[in-house]
Amino acid sequence: MRVHVLGGGIIGLACSAELVGRGHDVTVVDPAPGSGASRAAAGMLSPAGEAWHGEGTLHALGVASGRLWPSYAAALALPMHDSGTLLVGVDAGDRQEVERQAALLATHGERVEVLDGRRARALEPALARVTAAAVLAQDRAVDPRAVVAALLSRLGPRVVPQAPSDRPDATVIATGAHLPRPYDHLVRGVRGEILRLRGDVGLRRVVRGWVRGEPVYVVPRRDRSGGPGEVVVGATSEEHDGPPVVTAGGVRRLLAAATELVPGLDRAELCEALARDRPGTADNRPLVGPTGDAGVFLAAGHFRHGVLLAPLTARLLADAVEGAAPDPTLDPRRFAAHTLQEDS
């Protein structure tokens, strides 16, 4: 089939690579590939850390896609951070958040032990005093910018800035938080501000959690050339209707929380502050499948989970383009029918 994929973020590129792998003739259209939400993403592959009440279906999808990641990263010759994630809380209220997350994961059949602060610091000596922690052993991370670069290099001249004039058999819209009409009402922008620092902070695991009620994550990445590694600190989350700009308050809150949690970050170089819109949907699940308009498919609305869900989305989207019935929980038409389904 001749397929146009609109959008060269991690989702559009992953879908394109999958379609190419299945023998289709693909053109990816994006004047600035990888410059949207993929550019801001920290790259956590964290179904457990991102689990939320009433989102059992999304959690199961995340677990399924997370299982695909080791071979996906290997096929792109990319390393994975697989030392796990430590979920932590600083004060007594934050401790309750850790306990609540552990209880929620138990309802999904994932038992995690809540450790006291002393045991947490034995695992990660770079941490300041915390009151509670839980090891999320299966929550990993990748460098999304490296993933985008690897997919772009794989797709080569198939990525172009403007849509070709030929009429494709299928069009896949993968433009994240900014969908064209008539699909634009299906996603809303949820601003995330994120910081990139550089320094040796001595963290082995991804650390995420709450600092006096402020949610924060710290993602350490080894530098392959042996220099001080990148440390990604994220992220704010705000519903808004303006452009996604970095705000003074957002940077202040992220730095305050991250440096309280990992004091060594005080000496790290602050390299970048970036804001992008996460593509949120009404039920927080992505839109993967046919739109109802002939030959037009969506792969969008991945909210906080774009990197995690990329390999699974690519498969499901390619199946749908090839005529398979879409997963009803991801079918973009679920909203049109006003049949928002109960989640588990």
- Of 95 and 276, CB closest to ligand GLY: 276
250 contributes a contact to ligand GLY by CB under 6 A: no
Instruction: Determine, following the binding rule CB under 6 A, whether residue 36 of this chain makes contact with ligand GLY.
Output: no
Report the candidate in 103, 48, 35, 61 with the shortest Cα–Cα distance to residue 283.
61
Distance of closest approach, residue 37 Cβ to ligand GLY, in angstroms: 8
Whether residue 65 contacts residue 310, with contact meaning beta carbons closer than 8 Å, is answered with yes
191 part of the interface to ligand GLY, by CB under 6 A: no
Q: Is 109 left (phi over 0), alpha (psi -120 to 50) or beta?
A: left
Nearer to ligand GLY, 64 or 160 (CB): 64
Tell me how many residues contact ligand GLY (CB under 6 A): 8
Cα-flanking dihedrals φ and ψ of residue 126, to 5°? -75, -10
Q: How far is the CB of 261 from ligand GLY (least distance, A)?
A: 16
Q: Are 33 and 159 in contact (CB under 8 A)?
A: yes
Q: Does 199 bind ligand GLY (CB under 6 A)?
A: no
Nearer to ligand GLY, 44 or 130 (CB): 44
In the chain, the largest separation of any two C-alpha atoms, in whole Å, equals 63
Q: Distance from CA of residue 265 to its chain's centroid?
A: 23
Q: Does 44 bind ligand GLY (CB under 6 A)?
A: yes
* Residue 142 or 159 with smaller CB distance to ligand GLY: 142
Is residue 61 near ligand GLY by the rule CB under 6 A? no
Interaction between residue 235 and ligand GLY (CB under 6 A): yes
Q: Strand 296-300 relative to strand 170-173: parallel, antiparallel, unpaired?
A: parallel
Segment contacting ligand GLY by CB under 6 A, of 42-50, 58-66, 99-107, 220-228: 42-50
Q: Does 278 bind ligand GLY (CB under 6 A)?
A: yes
Residue 62 contacts ligand GLY per CB under 6 A: no
Q: How far is the CB of 250 from ligand GLY (least distance, A)?
A: 12
Residues 6+ positions from 83 with CB-CB distance below 8 Å: 204, 205, 206
Answer yes or no whether residue 304 interacts with ligand GLY by CB under 6 A. Answer: yes
192 touches ligand GLY by CB under 6 A: yes
β-bridge partners, 238:
191
Contacts of 269 (CB under 8 A, 6+ apart): 197, 198, 199, 228
3-state helix, strand, coil in the chain (%, to 5): 35, 25, 40
Measured from the CB atom, is 287 or 321 closer to ligand GLY?
287
Residues forming contacts to ligand GLY in the complex (CB under 6 A) are 42, 44, 50, 192, 234-235, 278, 304
